[in-house]
Amino acid sequence: MNAILGIDVGASGIKGALVDVHNGRLQGERFRVPTPHPSTPEAMGGAFAEIVEFFNYKGPIGCGFPAIVKHGVAQSAANIDESWIGTNAEQVFGQHTGCPVFVTNDADAAGMAEMRYGVGKGEEGVVMLITIGTGLGTALFYKGMMIPNTELGHLLWPHGKSAEAYASSGARERLKISRKEWAERFNGYLLHLERLFSPDLFILGGGESKFFEQYKSQLHTQARVIPAKLLNNAGIIGAAVYAAEQTS
Ligand code: BGC
């Protein structure tokens, strides 16, 4: 099968596109629906199904989901409704669409796409991808192998509070701070991660990666820092790749 539907479920929007899993390219347009609030499994299942209907798609679906996901079950809910905790997301989306759905963490999906088709291709060392959006998502690789569900956005830094509440774009918007001030915070976060993991490369993804040129001079890690090549499509592409791997 060439084209698989990849869906990236986020705290503000749910985006999908058909992905050619042999080259990691989108086939045609993306379609987005706003994330319902409250973002309960029932409401999100309906929004998810709208995307599948838009593409008139039948077949395996890959999904990146903004939570710890183990064997299809959500184990956390930082930016979605708490009723997701303990809910089998694969079953919920499967029941709403009639298709087999394979769910993985959204940052892990984006990381997989960047390592396979983006700027991480051929990187053998320790690579950390960070998605910067409403939340802070992370994906960690060594020699191309991923350790899933790293959740380093929830490191208790600084001052024993979650890093996400301090250095995500969600925090920048909520606290109404300038991008310059945000970048100082984010640089502190990268330095903290560097002390813990000694990565060779940081890849920045998510919405904030589009503005990389504006703040790159404020980032002072020893590791290289580069923006994700697939930008905001990495989550969709990685989700489709994940589904292809589960079905092959
Ligand atoms: C969640 C992660 C997710 C990240 C980005 C965090 O709040 O805990 O699972 O990857 O947001 O969506």
Please tell me whether residues 169 and 187 are part of one structural domain: yes
* Start-to-end C-alpha separation, the chain: 10
Asked if residue 1 has pLDDT above 80, the reply is no
* Interatomic CA distance for residues 59 and 97, integer angstroms: 10
Atom of ligand 1 nearest to the CA of 67: 9
CATH number at residue 21: 3.30.420.40
217 and 136 fall within a common domain: yes
Per cent of the chain over pLDDT 70 is 100
Could you give the residue ranges of the DSSP H alpha helices within 37-119? 41-54, 89-97, 106-117
Domain that holds residue 26: 3-108+233-247
Burial annotation 196-210 (CB, 10 A radius, 16+ → b, else e): ebebebbbbbbbbbe
| Contact call for residues 17 and 62 (beta carbons, < 8 A) | no
Return the best residue to mutate from 12, 76, 128, 169 for the ligand 1 pocket (most ligand atoms within 8 A of CB).
76
User: Do 133 and 170 belong to one domain?
Assistant: yes
Residue 117 near residue 24, CB atoms below 8 Å: yes
Query: For the chain, what is the mean pLDDT?
Result: 97
Per-residue confidence band for 100, with pLDDT thresholds at 50, 70 and 90:
very high
Confidence at residue 163, expressed as pLDDT on a 0 to 100 scale:
98
- Asked whether 139 and 128 are in contact (CB, 8 A), the reply is yes
Give the residue-averaged pLDDT of 30-41. Answer: 98
Residue 248 has a pLDDT of: 81
Establish if 116 belongs to a structural domain. Answer: no
Residue 208 reports pLDDT greater than 70: yes
Residue nearest to ligand 1 atom 4, measured at CA: 137
Judgement on whether residues 130 and 99 belong to the same structural domain of the protein: no
Q: Is the pLDDT of residue 201 over 70?
A: yes
Average pLDDT value for residue range 197-217:
96
Judge if the beta carbon of residue 45 lies within 6 A of ligand 1: no
In a domain, residue 151? The reply is yes
Q: 44: Cβ below 6 Å to ligand 1? A: no
Q: Number of structural domains, the chain? A: 2
Given pLDDT bands bounded at 50, 70 and 90, which one contains residue 206? very high
Residue 115 forms part of a structural domain: no
Is 179 a domain residue?
Answer: yes
| Token pair for 196 | 């813990």
The answer to whether residues 96 and 9 belong to one domain is yes
Atom of ligand 1 nearest to the CA of 108: 10
35 located within any domain? yes
